[in-house]
Amino acid sequence: MLSHLSQLTNEEKDLLIIAPNLVAALIAGADGEFSDDEIKKAAELIHIKTFSEKHEDLREIYQILDHDNAKEVLVDLMVSLPKDAKERNAYLTEMLKGLNAIFPKLRYEFTSKYYKSIRQIAHLIANVDGGFWGMGHIHYKEEELVDLPMIHKPEKQQEA
C-alpha cells in the first residue's frame, strides 16, 4: 500500500491523504458557506477517482478517502474548521502549503499526477454553484484559490 510513500513521516502521509478533502473544503467554503451540492460533488469526485486514476498509489489515496461515510467525514471536517471564511481559508491554505515540503521527497511521476488531480477537484467543485446549470461561473473568492496557488507545481528535478 502506498509503496513509495514509505520514506514520509506519518504526519506527511496523513497530509497527502487528507489534502483532497482540504482542497474540497477550501474551494467549497471560499465564498463563505458550504453548499450541499459542493459537498455532494466532492464526495462523488473522491469516489470516481478510486477507479479513474491511473497511478496505483494515487488510486489508493482516494480509496482510503472513499468509504461508506465519506460524505459525513467531509462534512465533519468542514464543521470542525473555523467559521469565519477568511480565517478558514488562511488555515486551509497553510495546511496545503505543507505539500510543498513533501513533493520533493517523492517521485515526479506521482507528484505531478497528484498535483493535477487535486487541481481538478478544485476546478470541478468551483463550478458547482454558479452560472447556467452550475457551469460557467465561479465565485470571485473561489477564482482566487481554484488554481491552488499555495501549492508549488512539482518540478522534474525532484526525483526521489
DSSP string across 79-105: HHS-SSHHHHHHHHHHHHHTHHHHGGG
Residue 125 reports pLDDT greater than 80: yes
Distance CA 34, CA 125 (A): 11
Entry pTM: 0.89
Domain boundaries, the chain: 3-158
Model confidence pLDDT, tens digit, residues 37-88: 888 888 899 989 988 988 888 899 999 888 767 788 888 998 899 999 999 9
Q: Name residue, grid cell 491552488.
A: 148
Mapping DSSP to helix (H, G, I), strand (E, B) and coil, where does residue 150 land? coil
Whether the Cβ atoms of residue 2 and residue 108 lie closer than 8 Å to each other: no
- Cα angle 31-130-124, degrees, rounded to a multiple of 5: 85
Extract the C-alpha cell encoding 115.
498535483
Considering all CA atoms of the chain, what is the largest pairwise distance in Å, rounded to the nearest integer?
46
Q: Name residue, grid cell 477550501.
A: 26
First-residue to last-residue Cα distance in the chain = 18
